[in-house]
Amino acid sequence: MSFVNAKEYLKKYGLEKNIMEFDISSATVKEASIALNCREEEIAKSLSFIVNDKAILIVVAGDKKIDNSKFKSEFHTKAKMIPKEEVNDLIGHEIGGVCPFGVKDNVDVYLDISLKKFDIVYPACGSSNSAVELTLKDLEEVSNYKYYVDVCK
């Protein structure tokens, strides 16, 4: 259902033509880069956290990891990822297909500055075997992001 929601959401922006489905898994950054034949850093991975009892997503370049001190400085709390069994309920997508669009209304989305060096990025599209090709401008528009953060190593 998550893939359908993401696809319907992207249709509103005329971006459904950029969606790709694969016969292989694209659930991890490595798998997605193989399926897409791109570099791992070009994958826009969506990481889910709880901040002040609220679910948030931070989209980062595929080769980056969260820097705990930068996270704490930005959000004034320790980085606490959402347990995998709760991600679908809180975000609206299953692990392996989490993307920053077609999410539940109360989820805040942030984009990390690590994405700014790319013209094109590839976030998941709601399933563990899909992705969508987006310009950075498209990602900014469809994610309804709050603002850019600097929370990666």
Full-prediction pTM beyond 0.75? Answer: yes
- The Cα-based distances of 25 to 10, 94, 139 in angstroms read 21, 14, 22
* Count of other CB atoms within 10 angstroms of residue 50: 16
CA distance 86 to 88: 6
CA distance 101 to 109: 9
DSSP symbol at 38: S
Nearest to 122 by CA among 57, 31, 33: 33
- Which two structure tokens, joined as six digits, stand for 45? 């991975």
pLDDT of residue 1: 61
CATH number at residue 131: 3.90.960.10
- Which two structure tokens, joined as six digits, stand for 149? 């953060």
Number of domains in the chain: 1
pLDDT of residue 144: 93
CA distance 127 to 99: 9
CA distance 110 to 122: 16
Tell me the pLDDT tens digit for each residue of 90-147: 999 999 999 999 999 999 999 999 999 999 999 999 999 999 999 999 999 999 999 9
Nearest to 98 by CA among 67, 37, 55: 55
Structural domain that includes position 114: 2-149
Q: What is the mean pLDDT of residues 17-36?
A: 97
